[in-house]
Amino acid sequence: MTSFDSIDDDLLAARERVRRLEQLTRQRQTVTVQLDEAGRLIGDLESMLAKEERDVSRLEGGGFAAFLSGLAGSKEERLVRERAEAQALRQRLDGQRTRLAWLQADRTAVERDLAEIGPAHEQFAELLARKERLLIESADPRGRELAEIGRLLADTHADLREHEEAHRAGVASSHAVGQVLRCLGHARGASTWDMLGGGGFADMLEHGHMRNADEAAWHAQRALDTFSRELADVGVQASPQLPKVDTRWFADMFFDNIITDAIKHQRIARTGQAVAEVAQWVNATVNGLAAHCGELVRRRDSLVVRREEVLTG
């Protein structure tokens, strides 16, 4: 192995560390934004839940609010609605708190990786200076082109790795969003049966599928959060958000009739359409990443061939 081979290997490794440092820095910035967003959502949901719980307490305790509710309609109907809204808010709040914990764990992992990399920029600059001295001292006419090929190879390797990571995150997101769509599809089928007179059993199936869809949606949102950070590494800014899944099942059971069945069916259909749009965007983005990965592989192979030609020519 020549001195050039040795320092080229060192430069390639150092360049990888620099790119990894830059990648992790971008990830830290992105996850910080996501943490701020989750914190704001939690604060808003806590305020909304507190208001709903106060409304429920006033109706349960009687008094002037309950009296006015009785004048406007059935107090019991109003109470069931308020309880349903409060329960839906609790579920959304629990989901956002879980998301916040996930994001905090992600930031801790990023900070740990940053600490392990160390002064990557300084090490890379030192190696570049050493190679520059070798090239000047050797006066090898191949030195300038080999140095440029080495730089391009290092950048291409790093670009390919980042695009492959984004592609893997996109595939995972596609699978997760697909699971939400499947759950909603099952719920829509049960809802259709319910509208045709399926009765309580169909209603129970429908709400079971909706609960599954809600759980799947939170896992899918985590995958989408990860995907958005990986996309930021390759210069794509995106923040895909899934719609909330309505699981106010006990209110629906209380007011179970053909009108509420139709409303539920429409609600499921709208949610499914919104999730399908997210899935379409994810799949298109994944396909674009796959195509770019192919371009980077061809560029890398071409540079490797040219380097061999220079060294053996």
pLDDT tens sequence across 234-283: 999 998 888 877 655 444 443 445 545 666 777 888 888 899 999 999 99
The verdict on residue 230 lying in a domain is yes
The verdict on residue 183 lying in a domain is yes
Tell me, what's the pLDDT at 194?
54
| Structure-model confidence comparison of residues 127 and 103, the more confident one | 103
Q: Kindly tell me the burial class for residue 208, based on how many C-beta atoms sit within 10 Å of its own C-beta (0-12, 13-18, 19 or more).
A: middle
Which stretch of DSSP H or E encloses residue 215?
A: helix 199-233
| CA angle (172 as vertex; 244, 21 as ends), nearest 5 | 105
* Same domain? 26 vs 100: yes
Taking only the tens place, the pLDDT of each residue in 176-226 is: 999 999 888 887 766 665 555 555 545 566 666 778 888 888 899 999 999
The verdict on residue 85 lying in a domain is yes
The stretch 282-295 carries a mean pLDDT of: 97
* Same domain? 110 vs 24: yes
Instruction: Find all residues with CB under 8 Å of 184, minimum gap 6, and list them.
Output: 209, 210, 213, 245, 268, 271, 272, 275
Query: In the structure encoding, which two tokens stand for residue 163, read together?
Result: 């695009």
The verdict on residue 226 lying in a domain is yes
Gap between the Cα atoms of 206 and 300, Å rounded: 52
Count: domains in the chain: 2
| Structure-model confidence comparison of residues 105 and 264, the more confident one | 105
Tell me, what's the pLDDT at 254?
39
Gap between the Cα atoms of 308 and 8, Å rounded: 14
Query: In the structure encoding, which two tokens stand for residue 281, read together?
Result: 């965007």
Tell me, what's the pLDDT at 63?
54
With beta carbons less than 8 A apart as the criterion, state whether 212 and 51 touch: no
Greatest alpha-carbon span in the chain: 97
The verdict on residue 126 lying in a domain is no
3-class secondary structure, 163: helix
Gap between the Cα atoms of 135 and 147, Å rounded: 9
* Same domain? 115 vs 145: no
The stretch 153-167 carries a mean pLDDT of: 93
Tell me, what's the pLDDT at 3?
61
Tell me, what's the pLDDT at 249?
44
| Structure-model confidence comparison of residues 302 and 187, the more confident one | 302
* Same domain? 175 vs 210: yes
The verdict on residue 5 lying in a domain is no
Q: Above 70 in pLDDT, residue 78? A: yes
Q: Above 60 in pLDDT, residue 306? A: yes
The verdict on residue 302 lying in a domain is yes
Tell me, what's the pLDDT at 261?
60
Q: Above 80 in pLDDT, residue 61? A: no
Average pLDDT value over all residues in the chain: 81
Tell me, what's the pLDDT at 118?
87
Tell me, what's the pLDDT at 50?
92
Query: In the structure encoding, which two tokens stand for residue 90, read together?
Result: 């609790």
* Same domain? 154 vs 283: yes
Query: In the structure encoding, which two tokens stand for residue 236, read together?
Result: 């794509």
* Same domain? 189 vs 72: no
The verdict on residue 124 lying in a domain is no
Taking only the tens place, the pLDDT of each residue in 27-58 is: 999 999 999 999 999 999 999 999 988 888 88
Domain boundary among 119, 150, 185: 119
Local confidence band at 98 (pLDDT 50, 70, 90 cut-offs): very high
H-state helical runs in the chain = 3-61, 64-72, 75-117, 120-138, 143-193, 199-233, 249-254, 258-312
* Same domain? 72 vs 104: yes
With beta carbons less than 8 A apart as the criterion, state whether 186 and 211 touch: no
CATH number of the domain residue 148 falls in: 1.20.1330
Distances (CA, A) of 59 to 47, 90, 130, 255, 256: 19, 19, 78, 18, 22
Gap between the Cα atoms of 38 and 31, Å rounded: 10
Residue in 21, 234, 26, 233 with CA at minimum distance from that of residue 123: 21
Domain that holds residue 164: 141-313
Q: Above 90 in pLDDT, residue 165? A: yes
* Same domain? 281 vs 168: yes
Gap between the Cα atoms of 45 and 30, Å rounded: 23
With beta carbons less than 8 A apart as the criterion, state whether 31 and 103 touch: yes
* Same domain? 208 vs 89: no
Gap between the Cα atoms of 313 and 300, Å rounded: 20
* Same domain? 97 vs 145: no
